[in-house]
Structure 1
C-alpha cells in the first residue's frame, strides 16, 4: 500500500507545470523584510533568463513562497535545487552582513544553524525545509484552484483586502496590471 507522505508528493514529469511551496524551516518569518523578498524576485528573474524557467504565478508570504512553475531547459528538480541553494546563501549572507540592519541577526543565525544540525547536508545553516509539495497542474479547474489559492493567500492572512493589492504576488499581472516581475500567464 502506498503512503501519501512517501509517494504523494513527487515530481513524476520534470517538464510539466507544477504548483510548489517553499517553506522556511520552523516557519520563521524571514520575508517580513523587503530585502529578503527581493532576493526571491531576483532569483526568479535569473532562473527565467538562464535556466528556462516559466514562472506562471507566485506569492511571497512571511515564511513561505507559493509558485506555479514549468521547467523548459533543465529539469524542474534542478531548477528548484538551484533556486533554493542561491536564495538560501544570499539570504543568509544578508542576515550575517554586519553592514545591514537586522535586529534579529543572532536569533536567525542561531535558528538556521539549529535546523542545519538536524540534517545530513554539509551546510552549516538550513533555511528551506526539504519538501516542496509538488503538485502537477493536471486540468484547467485544478490550475484555477491553485491560482486562486496563491493569489488569495495574502487576503486570508488579512494583509490586504484585494489580491492585487499585495505587492509580492502575481495577482496584479492576472488583472492586466504590471507586477513587480513579469509572469507567463496561464489561461
Structure 2
C-alpha cells in the first residue's frame, strides 16, 4: 500500500510526534536526552526551521515547528537516523528505535497553534512525571516563562505575541487552565490515540 504524501509548504507549522518502537523508552537517561537535543540543534544549523516548543517524554517526543524552507520529513529523517544509530550503538541494540514514521499535524489556525503548545508543555503533568510544567527539565516551557538561556534556540516570540502584555504572565495562566475534553480531542492523531 502506498503512503500518502504529507502536506508541506514554505512556512508550514506542525505538531510533530514520534514514539519508541513497541512504546519502549527512547531515553534511558539524561545523556540520551542531551543527545537528542544536540541533534535538534544540528538540524537547526543545517535546515531552515523554527522550534516553537518541544517535550522529550520517556517513550515519545513532541516538537512544534515552523518549517521555513525545509519539509519536516527531511528534518526528522536527519534527527531520527542519527539518534537511532547513537541509541543502538550505546545499548548494543539492533533494529528500529522509532515506531513507524513520525506523526505530523499541520497547524492551520492560531487556536491550534496555542493548543498544541499548551498540550506539549502539559504532557509531563498529564503523565504524572511532575506536578507543574516548569518542574520538567526536558521541555521548552521553562524557557517560555523565564529569561533562562536554552541550548536550543526556542522561538517563543510567535506564541507569546498572541497574548496581551505581560505576555509571559498570560501564557502561564493559559497553560495552567485545565484543558477541556474538546481541546484534548482536537489533538488526537489519525490513529485515534493521544500521545
TM range (shorter): 0.7 to 0.9
Using the TM superposition, give the Cα deviation of residue 166 of structure 1 relative to its aligned residue in structure 2, in angstroms.
Answer: 0.5
Using the TM superposition, give the Cα deviation of residue 75 of structure 1 relative to its aligned residue in structure 2, in angstroms.
Answer: 2.1
**Equivalent residues, number:** 154
What is the 5 A alignment of 1:32-181?
A: 32-96=28-92, 109=93, 113=94, 125-178=95-148, 179-181=150-152
CA distance in 2: counterparts of 1:158 and 1:25, whole angstroms: 22
For the 8 Å contact 1:168–1:180, the answer to whether it is kept is no
Match 2:8 to one of 10, 13, 17: 13
CA distance in 1: counterparts of 2:86 and 2:66, whole angstroms: 24
| 2:179 corresponds to 1:183 | no
Structure 1 unaligned segments of length 5 or more: list them: 1-5, 97-108, 114-124
Using the TM superposition, give the Cα deviation of residue 180 of structure 1 relative to its aligned residue in structure 2, in angstroms.
Answer: 4.9
CA distance in 2: counterparts of 1:181 and 1:79, whole angstroms: 15
Q: Which runs of 4+ in 1 moved over 3 A?
A: none
| 2:21 corresponds to 1:25 | yes
RMSD: 1.7
Secondary structure at the residue paired with 2:103? coil
For the 8 Å contact 2:26–2:97, the answer to whether it is kept is no
